[in-house]
């Protein structure tokens, strides 16, 4: 198989699987009321997933290693801005600036 057709397969595979995965929840359950137990868990999904995403994206290195690098500094800096009630865009700018600046040093 040539590299080109492998790439084509990946692109198509990605497009199709993404659409199916995104549709699965709403199609299977749409509009129906879930039992209270399910709702209690589901209302906590966002904090769980967001926290895990922050950790994974901040500390993931090459392959699967955990890496402490300049990203952590940038993320910490943006967190400080948010905690001081600053708006999101400046916080993101701080994240980029601190990370890039620390790498430049």
Partner 1 sequence: MRAGARAGVPFALAAGLLAVSFGVLAEPVMGGGGALAMSAFAFAGSAQFGATAVLASGGSAVAAVVAAVLLNARYVPMGIALAPSVRGPALLRAAYGQAMIDASWAMASRGGGRFDPDFMVGATLPSYPCWVGGTAIGVFAGDLIGDPAALGLDALFPAFFLALLLGGELRSGRMAWAVAGLGAAIGLALTPVAPPGVPVIAASAAALLGLARLDPRQARDRG
Q: Per rule CB under 8 A, is residue 68 in the interface with partner 1?
A: no
> How many amino acids of this chain bind partner 1 (CB under 8 A)?
80
Element (H, E) at 32: none
Closest by Cα among 105, 103, 81 to 92:
81
> Which residues, 6 or more positions from 89, have their beta carbon under 8 angstroms from its beta carbon?
none
Q: Per rule CB under 8 A, is residue 37 in the interface with partner 1?
A: yes
- Binding marks (x or -) toward partner 1, 71..100, rule CB under 8 A? x--xx--xx--xx---xxx-xx-xxxxxxx
Q: Per rule CB under 8 A, is residue 51 in the interface with partner 1?
A: yes
């Amino acid at each position: 198989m040539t590299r080109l057709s492998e790439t084509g397969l990946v692109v198509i595979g990605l497009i199709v699987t993404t659409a199916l995965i995104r549709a699965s929840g709403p199609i299977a359950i749409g509009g129906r009321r879930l039992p209270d137990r399910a709702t209690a868990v589901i209302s906590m999904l966002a904090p769980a997933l967001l926290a895990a995403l922050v950790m994974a994206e901040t500390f993931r290195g090459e392959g699967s290693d955990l890496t402490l690098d300049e990203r952590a500094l940038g993320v910490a800096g943006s967190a400080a801005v948010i905690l001081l009630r600053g708006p999101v865009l400046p916080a993101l700018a701080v994240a980029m600036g601190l990370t890039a600046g620390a790498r430049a040093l």
